Structure 1
Amino acid sequence: MINQFQAGLLNVEVYSSREEMGQEAAKAAAEKIRELLDKKEQINIIFAAAPSQNEFLQALRTDTSISWEKINAFHMDEYLGLDADAPQGFGNFLKEHIFGGLPFRNVYYLNGNADKPGDECSHYTELLLQNPPDIVFMGIGENGHLAFNDPPVADFNDPHKVKVVELDPVCRQQQVNDGCFESLDLVPLSALTLTLPALMEAGTIFCMVPGIKKAQAVQDTVMQDMAEAYPSTILRGHARATLFLDRDSSSMLSEQIPVQ
């Protein structure tokens, strides 16, 4: 670790590389999982699907100390209308990177091809009510989104747990920048997403954000006023959230004390 500080309630840790960041975040996550499973028979974890999570997921899935059979897994968003086997689908991404190779107690997938997306929102909401999240593993988008809560649709007091959203053009372009889609016209226009309150309900949040493309979003997260125009600023109000950065993603942070 090369730096550590608080931004409001949010703990921020900076590492020298994205590999180190992923490894250290996974160590901290595994420790929290073990701690919770010492007290509970099963726990519920929400996962993010994005290339920014690769190093973290790689380290986490190889940790032999974790009792995966006691974990119920969720994911936080899904495109609407992609082919069921499309590799860009977030459920498929997570199945490849962690869900498919480990003996989870349950894996609950968001169905982006449901005949009635509103009914799928209700179904997933019921699952979350039955299995309140203990931990969220997340990232931050280039536009500051958490899950698919882009600035135009982010609501710090959203009454829903899961909703249908139209995707912000900046968010859609990021999917091209990340190499997930060849061109913007191939990126879906809408998606299912867990809302900000649904994510913030978790007892502990681990937020992994590497890379130079995220430097502006990281600066906004730490320095901007807490507002829905900068959705990730909501993390500064969570008492058990940690933001894991690498040297690149932290490169725009001021030397001054962050806004509290």
Structure 2
Amino acid sequence: MNVRVFPSEQEAATACAAYIAAEVRAKPDLVLGLPTGRSPINVYKEMGALHARGELDLSRATTFNLDEFLGVEPEDPASFRAYMERHLFRHVNLAPERIHFFDGSAPDAEAECARYDAAVASAGGMDLVLLGIGPNGHIAFNEPGESLHATSHRVLLSRETRQTLAPLVGDDVSRVPMAALTLGIAPLIQGRQVHLIAFGASKGAAVTAMVHGPISPRCPASFLQLHQNVHLWLDSVAARGVQRR
């Protein structure tokens, strides 16, 4: 894993956004996998700033978001689609028809997951996957367990995951939905490049387990050890367990 450690979250986010912009310049029709949560907010802010300066043109890029709350309409302010509109989409020039999202309000969750997997496959897979990591080691919404799903699926969110999402809905964990739709592990680790961002002390143990622990469904992020092109963008606090090795 290519580990980059920065003194602060802001410096890591700025460098990560600049890297993504360079990759888009090299391949304007890049297919991006995009996360939500607190970690990518500053990366998206920097991407918007790069676009405003004429240094990021996403007009030919395609995006697939990694997950969406189940039972939530796209227009709901609590949806991840609304989150992406607030933090990235309205600040860049992505073509609407190139933006792909799970429909959390779809009446048949299994059919929606199959549709989404087919859309990713039709795009040729993802060129660059941006990931966060949960304190419990989840990536996208692939939660720790006895086994992992390779394909998109419905997932019951752990209380720990719901607590980490509470700041997005006024710090009220009761407003975080109980379930979501998420891409499985296979399309994530099949991305041609994987970039994972992690900031703060709460992510330190998960980062250490991801890099140095055994490959186990108990830490879904540990499966990134199998990938040959993984980049970690960490602040110094999240990286403490990695740097001690």
Does the TM-score normalized on the shorter chain lie above 0.5?
yes
> 1:146 pairs with 139, 142, 145, which one?
139
Confirm or deny that 1:207 pairs with 2:207.
no
- Return the structure number with greater helix share: 2
Q: How many residues align?
A: 239
The answer on whether the counterparts of 1:152 and 1:168 sit within 8 Å (CA) in structure 2 is: no
Give the 5 Å matches for 1:40-59. Answer: 42-59=29-46
> 1:242 pairs with 220, 231, 234, which one?
231
Counterpart residue type for residue 252 of structure 1 = G
Confirm or deny that 1:97 pairs with 2:87.
yes
Structure 2 CA distance, aligned partners of 1:120 and 1:79?
13
Give deviations 1:192-225, integer Å, cap 9, x for gaps.
Answer: 0001111111111111111121111112112211
Cα distance, 1:51 vs structure 2: 1.2
SS across alignment from 2:240:
coil
Counterpart residue type for residue 251 of structure 1 = R
SS across alignment from 2:144:
coil
The answer on whether the counterparts of 2:204 and 2:240 sit within 8 Å (CA) in structure 1 is: yes
Confirm or deny that 1:224 pairs with 2:213.
yes
1:19 is matched with 10
Report the TM-score, using the length of structure 1 for normalisation: 0.86
Which structure 1 segments of 5+ residues have no match? 1-9
Structure 2 CA distance, aligned partners of 1:19 and 1:180?
23
Confirm or deny that 1:189 pairs with 2:181.
no
Which structure 2 segments of 5+ residues have no match? none
The answer on whether the counterparts of 1:88 and 1:181 sit within 8 Å (CA) in structure 2 is: no
CA 1:218 to 1:114, structure 2 compared with 1: closer, same or farther past 3 Å? same
CA 1:35 to 1:67, structure 2 compared with 1: closer, same or farther past 3 Å? same
Cα distance, 1:186 vs structure 2: 2.4
CA 1:250 to 1:151, structure 2 compared with 1: closer, same or farther past 3 Å? same
Structure 2 CA distance, aligned partners of 1:218 and 1:159?
22
CA 1:248 to 1:148, structure 2 compared with 1: closer, same or farther past 3 Å? same
Give deviations 1:94-132, integer Å, cap 9, x for gaps.
Answer: 111112232213111211111111121121112111112
